[in-house]
Every structure is written in structure tokens, then in C-alpha cells.
Structure 1
Amino acid sequence: MTLAEGPFLGVGRSVSGRAWATRAAAPELVRRHQNALGLSEPLARALASRGVGPDEGEVFLNPTLKALFPDPSSFRDMDRAAEILVDALERGRSMVVFADYDVDGAASAAQVVRWMRAMGREVPIYIPDRVKEGYGPNPVVFRALKDQGAEIVITLDCGAAAQDALATAREIGLDVVVIDHHLMRPGEIPPAAALVNPNRPDDNSGQGMLAAAGVAFVLLAALNREARRRGLFATRPEPDLRQWLDLAALGAVCDVTALTGFNRAITAQGLKVMSRWANPGLKALADVGKVSGTATTFHAGFILGPRINAGGRIGRSDLGARLLSTDDPDEAAALAAQLDELNGQRKAVEQSVIDEAVARIEADPQIAEAPVLVVAAPGWAPGVIGIVAGRLRERFRRPAIVIGIDLAAGVGKGSGRSQPGVNLGAAVQAAFDEGLLLSGGGHAMAAGLSIRPERIAEFTNFLAMRLGEDQARAAEADVLEIDALITPKGADRSLLDAFARLAPFGPGNPEPVFAAASVRVERPMVMRGGHVRATLTDSAGGRLKAVAWRAEETPLGQLLQGGGVLHLAGRLRPDDWQGRASVELEIEDAADPRRSDAG
């Protein structure tokens, strides 16, 4: 990002408090992409601004597994994991899949279960209860699985930091194969039979951006290779791994991983597979979510994913994994209906917590002005506090931690979301090391913790001292980067389709942001759900539909409801209502051009 040439459209402070800036791109690289790929200047500039080098444009625009698939052996312990699991398959050893309760865990589990099923084995899935058992494996569960006859446990999207559980597994003779992607501390490699994690300190695969579902997909390739080496495909067909790319893509999108390199290829190709809706669970979920046709990251991340997650948040934790692994359309339909109902309940619970959290923040300047928002209350459901923290982070433009207090147990469970430049996970880990927390950790952008309620104020002060300067710098750098200037008349489907060549969008490849200068906001209306809709017009007679989601009570929504002439910024979406092939602008930010710092 750069403000070297002045703020874009002169917006030095928008209604969200940000400056606008042109997304930075080297002019020479822009010209190279134009000439080599035959792109328009705005599209070539968008490509260059995303760090795509002069010889990388073709692969970026057409990411394939053939070009980007890593050697499975480059992952530490991958070959060992494949040997253990194929050997267990041949010898008939009892296996259990143990996965996290979120989408990434469910998608990872379904891939392994489906590969085993293709090889003639049905492997049960164990998903821990979010409230009763918490995240990841523990000694009690491992002992119970061993007592029930399990000889091998495959942990997916968890286990890399489960020192106590894995030590117990070794003691009782339970072999554990860990497939994970979470950050690990240097020197802390737990005693697993095999531990595959591109983010373990001694892994040299260079695939640290992968979700667990991506690591699981590479595991399937290693399993195929090992089974082929042993001659297991002499009497049965080799599983075609491409059929499960939809699951790998689902995990990548819903776990908000960087969509670069191999992970981009997984997502791009996986969305094509998803678009065939051959997985009965995804098809049933798409039906209840009213999704059809071409699948996008939006469908995966905002329609399918939240429904799968709803089971782990407020219902039964195993529903998502069961849905994604079943081949029975009737069972899939029943599970999808149950998850859809739970998702509706989750939304109501979530909105209630958001409303209460916002009220607490706005009523207490000490909370509102802190570098990190820390808000706590009794009874807030552990399954929604992470979502609420993300909403608060978006609304108040600073890191946020939401803590639900269990008064009977005398413990608060918290979840936090951060902003670029503020390493929240490291700060939470430091607070744990200082003895302020019962447990805590995470990564730069997200963290989880448990705490005694009486120590919340001390913890808040600790974060302010540790992160105050980082947050101030991050706030100064909190710039909305603009890819191109549009007009209501010129914003059409051809423009949207041209920039869609940059998809799939996500971290590492942000969706293009467009700005419209001095457009008139006509007929603003508040819709059910607090959304604000309007029509944008320009002097050339152009008209463009626009919407600001959940904005009614926000400064953005209030500015839009006043109508008049504004600078607007947001993302273009297709508008196919009643057969029209048009577009609408999803408004993210706005500025009044009459203000001195807004043009």
C-alpha cells in the first residue's frame, strides 16, 4: 500500500476512519503482464499488485495441480505416515479418525474416510464435544479409544501440540498419526508415530499456507503412492483423488488460508469439482442453502461453511464430518436440514451476543479506547465468541477478544481476532507464560484462551502494554487499497468477468476493491436484517445497484441513509435476479467529498 502520491480521491479519512490508496504495483511489471498475457492495464496492474512476478502470470491465472503439486516426501514424516496407514490397511488393524469440530477438520476427516472406503475399509470418526472436551485430543479420550479396541488414531486439524495426549498414547501402546497445520513451538515435537505438519519447525516443504484439508489431500497422494508400491491396485482401481478436491478446497476457504501457490491450485480446481455437486453432503447442503451452478469461495465460505460449523458451535460436533463423508443421499438430506436449523439458531445467538458486546463497548470508554477490545459477560456461548470477535474487529477496526464466563465453573473462555501488524497469538501466549491465563495460544490473527474472571482486567492491561504501540502503527497503516475506479455506467458484467480471472480470492489474493467518485445515492432503504440498499447514479445516466450489509446502525449505514453525493468503495457482485446479467456494488466504505480530508 502507498500514500506517496496522496490519498486516492483525496480520501484521507473515510467514514470507517481509513485513508484510501491505490494498490501499489511496479509500472514495469504492469507492462510486462500486459504484453505477455494480453491483459488490460487495470487487470495487469491488479495482477502485479498481488506480487505475481513477470514469469508467474500464466500459472497464477491458470493454476493447475500438475504445475504446483509438491512432492509428498518433502513433508516431514509424510512417507512414514503413509507406510503406517497402508500397513494398517493390509494387516486389518483397527483405526479411528479423530478430527477437530470445524469445517477444516470435517473436510480433512471426510477425505481420509473416503480413501479408506475406496480401499475397502470403513473407519469411524471421533469428533470431540466443543464444550465438554474442548479442542484436540486429550489423555482421557485416547485411553477410552484404546479400551474400545483402537490400535491407530489419525488426528486431523489437531494434535500437533497435544504433548500430554501423545505421551499417554505412547504409554498405552496407541499409535497416533498426526495430520495438522497449526503453528508449533521450536523444539516441541510431541511423541507421535508420525507427525505431518508443514508448520512444524523442521519441515522443509514450504507449504505452510495449507489448511489441514490441503495437508490431508497430499496425504492421499502419499497413500496412493505407497499402496501402488505394494501392488494393492492389482485387484482394485486406484482411487481418483481429484473427486475429493472439493473437500480440500472447502477446508482451504473456510479456514481462511492464504490462497497462493499450491493452495491456490487446490482451491481453483476444487471449486470446479464442487460445482458438479457430486458429494451427497455438499449437494444436500447446497439445496438447503439455495446454491446451484458454479461454486465460488463465497458459497464455500459464507453459505456451506457456516452450516457445517453450526454443529460444532451449538449442536452435535460430529454432524459436519458425517455429512461430508456419507454416500447416502437420504442421510445427507437429513443431516443438512439439521445443520441448517442449527445455523439459524447460531445466527440468533450470535446476534444477541454482538448486540450486547457492542452496547458494553460503547457504554464504557475504558473498553472502547483500549488498543485491544476485551469484552466479557456471563453466559455467552463458546461456539459463537470467535465469530463475534471477528465482527467487533471489523466494526471497531482493532483487535478484539470476546470472553464468555461460566459462573458455576469460575472460568471464562475467550476467542480473539486481530489485524495485520498485531500478533495477538504471541501476546496471548505471553500472558499465559506470565500466569495470567489458565491456557492460551494461537497465531498472529487469532487466539483462544481460558481465564479466571477476576484476572480479566489485569489481562486487558497486559495486552494494552504489550500491543499498544503495535496497534497504533497498525491503525496508521489501516488503508483501504483500491484496484480501479469505476462509474455506475461503466460497471457491467464484462468488467466483473475480466477481474474474475484473478479468482479464487482470499488471504494472499484479496478480492478487487473498486471505487466510485462523487456518485449520487438515491432511494436508500433499510432492509430486513439491517442491510442498506440504494441505487447509485452518475451524470452520464448510469445506474448501479448497491448494498451495505448489516450497516443500519453503523456510521457507514447512517451516511448512506442520508443520501446525496458520496465517494464509495466496495466489491462487485453478479446480479442475476430475474435473468438479468448485471452487477451490484457491495459497499465497504464511504467518504463525503465535501469534507476536507475526503476530497
Structure 2
Amino acid sequence: MTLPASALPVETIPAFLGVNQSATGRVWRDRLDPRGAARALAIAQRYQVPEMLARIIAGRGIDIDAVEDFLDPTIRKLLPDPLTVTEMEAAAKRIADAAARGEKVAIFGDYDVDGATSAALLTWHLRHCGLDPLIHIPDRIFEGYGPNVEAVRGLANRGATLLVTVDCGTTSIEPLAEAKRLGMDVVVIDHHQCGDELPVVDALVNPNRPDDLSGLGHLAAVGLVFVTLVAVNRELRARNFWSDVRPEPNLLDALHHVALGTVADVAALTGLNRAFVAKGLIALRRRDHVGHTALMDVARLSGPPEAWHLGFMLGPRINAGGRIGQADLGVRLLLE
């Protein structure tokens, strides 16, 4: 916040790093009250960080005991037990059943970046399980958001026995009822707000449903898919599904999907989301994923990617497919 120099005497404004006005003479006012300034000083001393960084952290309201997780977030520390999410156990077991039985799984995603990365992440995992899932991303003009009856019938006709919706499905009462009528089991992995009625499905994994106490409502759908796959891996491990011939996939290898979807969906970069993005950016900087590397090359991103690049350079290019009549183009690229 700035004020003209004439509005407030310069000498009444505490200097910030020895400077108290801009080059044009506009006075800088400190957003930190005395208590906030004291917290910033304590942060700087305790964590041995520069004063400017400490003041930024204090200004964001970060508790002094949470500063380490803010500066160096780790998934190992911030990831809760997936089963704290309502109906997560049922979802993990049903997906594990599909892997063990070699079922035909259909993935129905949203047409935005969160939906595309969610579908790509789940597809990547199911392929490691030996499955070849169907993927349907709806046309934003002709189909609109979420599952629709015609698309559900098409997936059933192609032999799908399990329908997994990602980044959609919470309010799709009739289409998911049709899926059940056609004999498909249905798992919903979504983060959108619930309506007055919930769909009747085999598992509805949504931390924003009224009866969920997991505290993960800030996750993007792709982050929630990651948490779900942690539970699926655990379930398959308990069944001795993994072997030398079919090794358990390391979910950390897919964090580039999670980072891109989380930032592009404008999810708050706090807690687990912050860890997802921090580690996902490291993966992207290695440039060893063909689709993501091609995306960065087209965007003329030669330096190391940062969160800003994901939100304003890479994300919009994934969205572009849906606007030229190829809704699944983003998913196909991400799976390269």
C-alpha cells in the first residue's frame, strides 16, 4: 500500500530495510502491526532467514511453528493417512479389485487442467497395474461439465465395469444412476462443493462433503487422486499384487502431474499442496517427461519452471485442446 508523500510525513513511517518511499516519492506503509513485526523478528532469529523473508512469512499469517513446513514442505510429513477421507477405503478396495481382476476401467475427467492431470495420473497408475483404461473428457460445448448419460452409455458399451470420475461427479445424480443401472460400479474422486443430494455410488471421495473430517478440502482433484492412489498401492501391497515382474509404481515419479493441476486450479499453496508443488517442480526441472518437456519447449521455457509458469504458460496450453474440439488432447500429451 502506498500514499503520496504529502499525505503522511515520511518521518512517521518506520523504514523497511532502510527505505521508506518509492522513487516517485510515494510513502510505503508497513502492513505488519507491532505484534506482526515481533513475530517476524522471532522467525528471522529462530530460522536464520533474512529479515525481508521473515516479514513476508509473518505477513501471510504463518504460525512460527509452521515456518519450516512452509519453507521446506515434505510430502512424507504433511500427507495424512488417506483413510481419514470419507469412503476412501471403499474407493481404494474397488480400484484394487479392478486391478486384480484385470477389469476394463473407464475414467471420466473434467476438461480443465485439473481434470486432465487427474485423468493422466490415474491412467498412468492403472497402466502400471497392467490395465488399459478408457478415458473420456467431455466436449465443453456439446457435452458440458461432468458425466452425461450418453457418454456413460458409450463407456458401458465399450465394456467398462468400473467408472471412475475425477474432478467431477459429485452433483451428477442422473448420469451416475444410469451407470449403476447399466451394471457399472462407480467411484467418484472430486473436490467440488456438494449439492443437496449426493449420487448413489460405490464410493464418493470428496473432502468437501458434509460428513468428511479429513481437512483436505483445499486439495485440487489431482492431489486427491494422488492420495487415493497411496491408499490403492497400500491395498494392493497387502494383497501381494506387486512383484518383480510388476513392480509397485513410485507415486513420487508422477508429481509433475500433481504440481501442474494444483497450480492451474488455483488451489491454495499451503500444507500438502505446497509440498506437491515444491516436489513436482523439481521433477519438471529434470525434463525427463516427454509430454511436459514438449509443453515447456512450445512455451519457450528454457529456464527452470516455477509455479507462475505452470499457471500462466503451461496450464492454458493444456486447456487449449478443449477449445479446438479435441477435449482429450491435453491428457494424451501428458501421458507421453
Same fold (TM over 0.5): yes
Which of 1 and 2 has greater Rg? 1
1:251 pairs with 2:261? yes
User: Which residue of 238, 250, 254 corresponds with 1:240?
Assistant: 250
Partner deviation per Cα, 1:125-174 (whole Å, 9 max, x = no partner):
11111111111101222122212211111111111110111222222222
Partner deviation per Cα, 1:453-493 (whole Å, 9 max, x = no partner):
xxxxxxxxxxxxxxxxxxxxxxxxxxxxxxxxxxxxxxxxx
Matched letter for residue 79 of structure 2: F
1:94 pairs with 2:88? no
Matched letter for residue 136 of structure 1: G
Identity %, equivalent residues: 48
Determine the structure 1 residue equivalent to 2:158.
148
> Could you tell me the TM-score, scaled by structure 1's length?
0.51
Query: Relative to structure 1, is the Cα distance of residues 38 and 163 closer, same or farther in structure 2, using a 3 angstrom cutoff?
Result: same
> Could you tell me the TM-score, scaled by structure 2's length?
0.89
Unmatched 5+ residue regions in structure 1? 1-6, 13-18, 327-599
1:8 pairs with 2:17? no
Determine the structure 2 residue equivalent to 1:62.
72
Determine the structure 1 residue equivalent to 2:61.
51
CA offset at residue 24 of structure 1? 3.3
Matched letter for residue 8 of structure 1: T
8 Å CA contact retained: 1:23, 1:49: yes
Partner deviation per Cα, 1:34-54 (whole Å, 9 max, x = no partner):
110112222211111111111
8 Å CA contact retained: 2:139, 2:325: no
SS of the residue corresponding to residue 64 of structure 2 reads coil
SS of the residue corresponding to residue 295 of structure 1 reads coil
SS of the residue corresponding to residue 286 of structure 2 reads coil
8 Å CA contact retained: 1:8, 1:22: no
Structure 1 distance, partners of 2:86, 2:303, is 39
1:283 pairs with 2:293? yes
Matched letter for residue 239 of structure 1: P
Determine the structure 2 residue equivalent to 1:211.
220
Structure 2 distance, partners of 1:20, 1:161, is 48
Determine the structure 2 residue equivalent to 1:200.
209
Determine the structure 2 residue equivalent to 1:469.
none
Matched letter for residue 98 of structure 2: A
Matched letter for residue 148 of structure 2: N
Partner deviation per Cα, 1:473-530 (whole Å, 9 max, x = no partner):
xxxxxxxxxxxxxxxxxxxxxxxxxxxxxxxxxxxxxxxxxxxxxxxxxxxxxxxxxx
Determine the structure 2 residue equivalent to 1:23.
31
1:163 pairs with 2:157? no
Structure 1 distance, partners of 2:29, 2:119, is 42
CA offset at residue 32 of structure 1? 1.2
Greater per-residue helix proportion: 2
Matched letter for residue 124 of structure 2: R
Matched letter for residue 320 of structure 1: G
User: Which residue of 104, 113, 137 corresponds with 1:103?
Assistant: 113
Structure 2 distance, partners of 1:289, 1:76, is 40
1:288-299 map, 5 Å: 288-299=298-309
Matched letter for residue 2 of structure 2: F
Matched letter for residue 32 of structure 2: A
8 Å CA contact retained: 2:110, 2:145: yes
Structure 2 distance, partners of 1:134, 1:21, is 47
8 Å CA contact retained: 2:118, 2:257: yes
1:437-586 map, 5 Å: none
1:35 pairs with 2:49? no
Unmatched 5+ residue regions in structure 2? 8-26
CA offset at residue 105 of structure 1? 0.6
Structure 2 distance, partners of 1:161, 1:79, is 21
User: Which residue of 225, 229, 232 corresponds with 1:223?
Assistant: 232
Structure 1 distance, partners of 2:153, 2:311, is 36
The 4+ residue runs of structure 1 with deviation greater than 6 A are none
Matched letter for residue 36 of structure 1: R
